[in-house]
Structure 1
Amino acid sequence: MIASLRGTVVDKGLDHVVIECGGVGYLCQATPRTLADLPRGGEAHVLTTMVVREDSQTLYAFPDAATREVFGVVQSVSGVGARLAMGIMSVLSPGELADAVAAGDVKALQKAPGVGKRLAERMAVDLRGKLDAFAGTAPATGAGTGSGAPDVAADAVGAQVVEALTGLGFSRDAAEAVVGEVAAAEPGADTGTLLRLSLARIGGGAR
């Protein structure tokens, strides 16, 4: 198994990064939070987990041991696979997830794409006691709500971010609304910045 990678970031997209180590490029799936700290052409060190299926072998990259561990623990819940776990980690940090589970905060868990009320309730029960080591480590956040967001459908950067959010499981209407709000507040933001800020806003409750 490949536990970590250290090398040069030779390419990255909205949901993946390619890290070259010793002349070999490794494609890893990663959350926008992780990708934001991996500049193209820069040196990177990530922890990894390989998920092997009958028809695929997928490498996932994480910035630290806590995020990697929580990624694995979340998949112990029935109905949560690697892709959904990545969607959850895109919106909730290990501390935020642990706090939500400890408090039985179903609404907070539902902020993650693809997590409905029933699954959120199951997560609150099945994960209780499994994430205690991460409770109280969530960073302070303050996400406001915007208004009068512009139509982002015709904007190339905005449209790309909307597609990334829908790929994570958010509805197109919610994605367009949030991206529009962030684009209005941060004119000229590039794709990575717009995606990161949009995810932060969604995680703060602006859906």
Structure 2
Amino acid sequence: MISTLRGTVLSALGTIVVIEVGGVGFSVNVTPAEALGARIGSELRLNTTLIVREDALTLFGFATPDELGVFELLIGVTGVGPKSALGVLSALSPDDIARAVAADDDAVFRKVSGIGPKTAKLITLSLAGKLVPTSPAAVPRIAAGVPAVDSVLAALVGLGWSERVAAQTLDEVVAETDESARASVPALLRLTLGRLGPSQHGRAS
């Protein structure tokens, strides 16, 4: 089992990051935010799990042990495969997921591509009692009415920033950007990352 990887980023595109460790390049499936935050030539550490199938060996990597733990819980739910679980973590932070499960709010999961009503309900039922929110939801004051904000905030938390810092910075960026940038998750994420600087887990590696 490959539990962690730490090495140099060779490429980062879409949801795939290639990390060179000891002269070997490992292709790792990550969230779009993780791939966007990776810098070619820089060092990156990921918490990983190896999914074994008859026709493939696939690595999935996450910035924090919490994300990895939630991923492993999600793939244990009937109807949720690794790609769907990664999709959930691309849209929601571990705390968002824990709060939704605690509130029996399956609507949160129905918004994720590939998750239908039945599977969304199974997620809340199967994970009940297994997750505990560590903090209350952080709602940016100005950004509260902007549709892309929830996804960007979850991505920033996934990259290692606290919800408070991420929400405050996102609030400032939204206040200074035009409507087209506010409506685009990638654009808003890039602008906020530019203000925050290198990712928190990247600094710690």
TM-score, structure 2 normalization? 0.69
- For residues 95-110 of structure 1, what are the structure 2 equivalents within 5 Å? 95-110=95-110
**Does the 8 Å CA contact 2:16/2:28 hold for their aligned counterparts?**
yes
**Does the 8 Å CA contact 1:183/1:194 hold for their aligned counterparts?**
no
Partner Cα distance (2:179, 2:19) in 1: 30
Aligned length: 157
The alpha carbon displacement at 1:194 in A equals 3.1
1:36 match: secondary structure: helix
Are the structure 2 counterparts of residues 141 and 34 from structure 1 closer, same or farther at C-alpha, using a change threshold of 3 Å?
farther
Matched, 1:8 2:32: no
1:9 match: secondary structure: strand
Partner Cα distance (1:39, 1:128) in 2: 37
Partner Cα distance (1:37, 1:46) in 2: 13
Partner Cα distance (2:95, 2:86) in 1: 15
Matched, 1:121 2:121: yes
Match of 1:194 in 2: 187
The alpha carbon displacement at 1:136 in A equals 3.5
Are the structure 2 counterparts of residues 195 and 145 from structure 1 closer, same or farther at C-alpha, using a change threshold of 3 Å?
closer
Partner Cα distance (2:125, 2:186) in 1: 35
Match of 1:204 in 2: none
Partner Cα distance (1:27, 1:139) in 2: 33
Are the structure 2 counterparts of residues 70 and 138 from structure 1 closer, same or farther at C-alpha, using a change threshold of 3 Å?
farther
**Does the 8 Å CA contact 2:30/2:86 hold for their aligned counterparts?**
yes
The alpha carbon displacement at 1:193 in A equals 3.7
Q: Deviations over 1:156-175 (max 9, x none)?
A: xxxxxxxxxxxxxxxxxxxx
The alpha carbon displacement at 1:115 in A equals 1.5
Are the structure 2 counterparts of residues 196 and 60 from structure 1 closer, same or farther at C-alpha, using a change threshold of 3 Å?
farther
Partner Cα distance (1:91, 1:138) in 2: 17
**Does the 8 Å CA contact 2:67/2:94 hold for their aligned counterparts?**
yes
RMSD between aligned residues:
2.4
2:111 match: secondary structure: coil
The alpha carbon displacement at 1:186 in A equals 5.8
Unaligned runs of 5+ in 1: 147-181, 198-207
**Does the 8 Å CA contact 1:6/1:46 hold for their aligned counterparts?**
yes
TM-score, structure 1 normalization? 0.69
Matched, 1:46 2:42: no
2:2 match: secondary structure: coil
